[in-house]
Structure 1
Amino acid sequence: MTENLLQIAYKAIDDKRGEDIVVLNMQNISLLADYFIICHGNSDRQLQAIAKEVQDKAEESGYNIKRVEGFDSARWILVDLGDVVVHIFHKDERAFYNLERLWGDAPQLDVQ
């Protein structure tokens, strides 16, 4: 079930041209979620479009959105889907926060 949600979120990001999509397997590393998806966009509007698409596609498939943070400022939008947490960054903020390095011990998954 979690893998299905992961695929839905990944495809939604890809459909809205999210860039450099990275999936981290957070199982046995964090209690926050099983997977983090990290991506970036190049404008506030693109970030908001990605976040909206993730929410819409998850809800259409029967999943609940736990919480969305940062939508209005659109610099770092977090979409909490429960077992999957999506981090949508503006390009500059992604480089600054560098979650991939912060969670460097988490294995990256190849999701297509």
Structure 2
Amino acid sequence: MTRTRHRVRVASARKPKGAIPLHNEAAPRAQEDFGAAEPSLDDQGRITALENLILARLDDDKAQDVVFIDLKGKSAVADGLIVASGRSHRHVGAMADHLLRALKEQGYGKARIEGLPHCDWVLIDTGDVIVHLFRPEVRAFYNIEKIWSVEPPAGRAALS
């Protein structure tokens, strides 16, 4: 029986032709990657300012049935959820456009947006706060408030 020696190739020893490194910097540590368990006071102040900016902008644009749902400590997706209705496709689109401009002007970066071409349901994700803008019929159909166990303003008024 003849013993053969196998050569072990080390991936980091030689790069294949045409290989492009994905990252030049070191891999992030776990704390940097996932963040601290609780946001710092500066982060909380920034998040509160962001929430106030969004609510003020929606109020200026005459959004209907605005609901703010505080998700701090309840979800890792976001710290807040804002749901509002517009009167028509055009109203929902205008509110979304004005909100995106205000976020950019105030230095909150570029928010991710979905649903703008049809304007039935526009979702704006700022990272810390998620905004859902609906036409009233679409909002009633999807009933986002029920997922988080929050009644819409019209339901609360009828019970009082």
Summarize deviations over 1:38-84 as a string: whole Å, max 9, x none. 00011111001110111111111100133100000101000111101
**Runs ≥4 residues deviating over 3 A:** none
- Give 1:19's match in structure 2, choosing from 60, 64, 67: 64
Task: Give % identity.
Answer: 34
1:95 has 2:140 as partner: yes
1:104 has 2:149 as partner: yes
Across the aligned residues of Structure 1 and Structure 2, the Cα RMSD in angstroms comes to: 1.1
- Give 2:91's match in structure 1, choosing from 24, 46, 66: 46
Partner Cα distance (1:66, 1:44) in 2? 20
1:33 has 2:78 as partner: yes
Q: Structure 2: where are the runs of 5+ without partners?
A: 1-45, 151-160
- Give 1:64's match in structure 2, choosing from 95, 99, 109: 109
Tell me which residue corresponds to 2:52.
7
Partner Cα distance (1:63, 1:44) in 2? 26
Greater gyration radius? 2
Partner Cα distance (2:112, 2:56) in 1? 20
From the two aligned structures, give the one with the greater strand fraction. 1
Whether the 8 Å contact between 1:65 and 1:79 is mirrored in structure 2 is no
After TM superposition, the score normalised by the length of structure 1 is 0.89
Partner Cα distance (2:83, 2:119) in 1? 14
After TM superposition, the score normalised by the length of structure 2 is 0.63
Whether the 8 Å contact between 1:65 and 1:80 is mirrored in structure 2 is no
Whether the 8 Å contact between 1:33 and 1:85 is mirrored in structure 2 is yes
Partner Cα distance (1:27, 1:97) in 2? 23
Tell me which residue corresponds to 1:83.
128
